Amino acid sequence: MKRELNSWFSPALQKEMPIVSYGDYGFSLLLVPTAAADYLEYERFQLMDILAPYINSGKVRVFSINSINNESWLNNDMLGEHKAIRHNQFNEYVYNEVVPFIRNATSFETPIITSGASFGALHSMNLFLKRPDLINGVISMSGVYDLTDYTKGYFDEQVYFNSPMHHLPNLTDHHMLEQIRKSQHIHILTGSGDYEDPNASRAFAGALYNKGVNYELDVWSEEWKHDWPTWRAMLPHYLETRF
């Protein structure tokens, strides 16, 4: 499996940001880490080994980036408004730096699908919903879609617009909604076992339904916990059966 490491100083984040890619061809799958993890997290937890057949066959080319959650919502020493600003800087990094990097490595026409587990699921969904002109779809695993689950009571306009459960129900921009509705790949996956919150996925699916957005909600049984064995089963299953 071809593996490439790259890095650059991010103007948005004002720090060096690495990225790893796996493979040569196929649609682009952009992985967002869980919690405070880094760009090699999915590799360390053997997900790349599981995805190798799809990567080597040219079905998908995978890109994985760093989280900055430990400089934002998971940093207890920061003020809430500063956490929100850092979150928006991360969004700008993805849209203005990572997406062009992927386009340059693939092509302008190559679809980009975001994916992540746990906190990465919220980020992946949020990145897609805010810029469906750049991101073509999402596979979110074991997520909650209310950012206030992470903000320790802080709420402002920036939290609102980065919390899918808050801003989607009130979204009225017809052009934006039509771009979201065009996606054939809005996949919301969750287990029902320990530390999973399937009702959060059901609630967000209901918000999509109310906006006329096509989606797939897949609630797995109680044997599937909020942990890596679940995500190592979910993601390859969806690459095999939906793409």
Cα angle value 102/89/43 (rounded, 5°):
50
Q: Is 186 helix (H, G, I), strand (E, B) or coil?
A: strand
User: Mind listing the pLDDT tens digit for each residue in 40-51?
Assistant: 999 999 999 999
- State the average pLDDT over residues 208-221: 98
Tokens at 239, concatenated? 């690459």
pLDDT given at position 36 = 84
Tokens at 234, concatenated? 């979910």
Q: Work out the angle between the directed axes of helices 228-242 and 47-56 (0-180°, nearest 10).
A: 10
pLDDT of residue 19 exceeding 90, the answer is yes
pLDDT given at position 116 = 97
pLDDT given at position 172 = 96
pLDDT given at position 23 = 98
- State the average pLDDT over residues 173-200: 98
How far, CA to CA in Å, does 9 sit from each of 15, 50, 83, 98?
5, 31, 20, 12
Q: What is the pTM of this model?
A: 0.97
How far, CA to CA in Å, does 72 sit from each of 35, 87, 96, 128?
11, 6, 19, 20
Q: Is 2 helix (H, G, I), strand (E, B) or coil?
A: coil
Q: Which helix (H) or strand (E) holds 208?
A: helix 198-210
36 vs 71 pLDDT, higher one: 71
pLDDT given at position 201 = 98
User: Mind listing the pLDDT tens digit for each residue in 132-162?
Assistant: 999 999 999 999 999 999 999 999 999 999 9
CATH class of 3-242: alpha beta
% of the chain residues with pLDDT over 70 = 100
Report d(CA 232, CA 175) in Å as an integer. 36
pLDDT given at position 10 = 98
Report d(CA 200, CA 190) in Å as an integer. 9
- State the average pLDDT over residues 199-220: 98
Each domain of the chain, given as residue ranges in start order, spans: 3-242
Report d(CA 121, CA 137) in Å as an integer. 12
